[in-house]
Amino acid sequence: MTGVPLSWYLILSALLFALGVAGFLFRRNIITVFMSIELMLNAVNLSFVAFSYQLKQVNGHIFTFFVMVVAAAEAAVGLAIILTVFKNRETLNVDEVNSLKN
């Protein structure tokens, strides 16, 4: 036993992802929700890199790179939307952003 089993990495990834889901579901601050999403993305990235090690291929790294790019774009647009929502509604609580229903 000379190294860490790869499954540990995967379980760490699953743990982080589950934490992200929990934050995504239970937090009400829209920015925190957003950060939970980033956490989930990071968890997925970790599993990508881990698989890349397992398969001895760089493709996993490429996917991680693309995820980062998309995450950057998403953060830019998402935060702009949050700004707009805040300017219009004076709130960051997702429970109060419910005009889809009414």
Partner 1 sequence: MQHLWLIPVLPLLGFLLNGLFGRRLAKGAVTAIALGSVLLSFAWVVKTLVGLGALETAYIERYFTWFQSGDLRVGADLSVDRLTAVMLLVVTGVGSLIHIYAVGYMTHEGGYYRFFAYLNLFMFFMLVLVLGANFLLLFVGWEGVGLCSYLLIGFYFLKKSATDAGKKAFIVNRIGDFGFSLAMLLIVITFGSLDFGAVFPAAASKPESTLTLIGLLLLLGACGKSAQAPLYVWLPDAMEGPTPVSALIHAATMVTAGVYMVARSSAIYLHAHAAQEMVAYIGLGTAVFAATIGLAQNDIKKVFAYSTVSQLGYMFLGLGAGAFSAGIFHLVTHAFFKALLFLGAGSVIHALEGEQDLRHMGGLRTRIPVTFWTLACAWVAIAGIPPFAGFHSKDAILLAAHHHAPWMYWVGVLTAAMTAFYVSRAMFLAFFGEPRGHHHPHESPPVMTAPLAVLALLSLAGGFLDVPKFLEPLFPLSEGAHDFALVAISVVAGLAGIGLAALFYVVKPGLADAVANALGGLYTLVYNKYFVDELYDAAVVRPVETGSREALWKGVDAGLIDGAANGVASIARATGGLLRLIQSGNIRSYATWVVFGSILVLVAIGLVGGGAR
Partner 2 sequence: MDVILFLAFAAIAVVCAVNVVVQTHPISSALSLIGVMGSLAVLYLLLGAEFIAMAQVIVYAGAIMVLFVFVIMLLNAGAESRRGRSLTAQLLGIPGFFALLVLLSYTVLRLFPDAAHVKFGGFTGGSAKDVGKLLFTEYLLPFELTSVLILIAIVGAVVLARKELE
Q: How far is the CB of 69 from partner 1 (least distance, A)?
A: 22
**How many Å apart are CA 3 and CA 13, to the nearest integer?**
18
Q: At 55, list the tokens.
A: 């398969």
Residues in touch with partner 1 (CB under 8 A): 21, 24-25, 28, 33, 94-95, 97-102
Interface positions, 11-50, toward partner 2 (CB under 8 A):
11-23, 25-29, 31-32, 34-36, 38-39, 42, 45-47, 49-50
**Cβ-contact 25, 88 below 8 angstroms:** no
Q: How far is the CB of 102 from partner 2 (least distance, A)?
A: 18
**How many Å apart are CA 30 and CA 10, to the nearest integer?**
28
